Amino acid sequence: MNRRQESQDFIETELKEENEKEKEQKNEPERKLLKESDDFEEEKSTTEGTSEDHNMELQLPQGTELTKLAGIDLPSGDIGHALQLLEFCETFGEVLQLNNGEPEILLNELTSGDAHNTNESLIVQIHTRLLSLTEESLERRYSGNSWLENFTECISVSQYPSKESFLELFNLHPNGYGGLNFSQKLRLLNFLCDEALGLKTLRLWIEQKNVEEKKKAKERLIANRGRN
């Protein structure tokens, strides 16, 4: 091979390499785009997987939410009924012979399964007193031998539209009242409180309290005028 041929071959080789470099440079942006696209798809897949895992976690069964009232953990759905009972006890504590702090003790006893088994419990005392008020106002005596039997009779003669649902509570549980949960006991007691609100005895007591409050307000007004 002569020098001329060698020179020509060298030039062709150089041109070929240069062309290949130009092709690589032209394809570089396309390769970057492909790589970025692959990276995005991988990240998207990972994100979707994480999102699916998160959704699965959110779909797990939730426990009963508890709210503390008067230092007692109660189901959130019962807070309104519990406040209703505490308000009734606070308003008519004098009639029911309740001391300070006893309404909260009563609420705590309702969470217990066997607190009603002793006559000293506030559950027994409050039901007995409310039933006695009912007997006094209606001028009739219940025929039962226990407060539970009298309570059942009180429900059966009530004009309350949904009284049948309360009677069923006793029939559905072999242990009667002892088989009821906190929510059911609370609603039964609130029913008895609502019945008491319509009694002549409580109406007269409320009227008497209103008269006393007006008298005290008048005395305070006269005393203030005297000081001026």
Please give the single-letter amino acid code of residue 85: L
Cα distance between residue 188 and residue 166, in whole Å: 7
Tokens, residue 169: 């509570």
Decide if pLDDT at 90 tops 80.
Answer: yes
Tokens, residue 170: 């006793």
Among 109, 100, 101, smallest CA distance to 127 is for 109
Instruction: Go through the chain and tell me how many residues it has.
Output: 228
Instruction: Point out the least confidently predicted range of 50-54, 98-102, 143-147, 184-188.
Output: 50-54
For the chain, give the longest Cα–Cα distance.
Answer: 140
Please give the single-letter amino acid code of residue 119: N
Q: Phi and psi (nearest 5°) for 67?
A: -130, 135
Cα distance between residue 187 and residue 210, in whole Å: 29
Angle at 114 between CA 111 and CA 119, to 5 degrees: 110
Q: Each residue of 37-72: pLDDT tens digit?
A: 565 555 555 555 544 444 444 444 455 566 878 788
- The sign of the torsion formed by the CA atoms of 177, 182, 187, 189 equals positive
E strands, the chain, are 66-69, 72-75
Query: What residues does each domain of the chain span?
Result: 66-218
Q: Is 0.75 surpassed by the pTM of this model?
A: no
Tokens, residue 1: 């091979």
Among 74, 121, 75, 78, smallest CA distance to 102 is for 121
Q: Each residue of 158-206: pLDDT tens digit?
A: 888 878 888 888 777 666 788 888 999 999 999 999 999 988 888 888 9
Rg (CA), the chain: 41
Asked whether the beta carbons of 83 and 188 are under 8 A apart, the reply is no
Asked whether the beta carbons of 133 and 150 are under 8 A apart, the reply is no
Q: Phi and psi (nearest 5°) for 35?
A: -65, -45
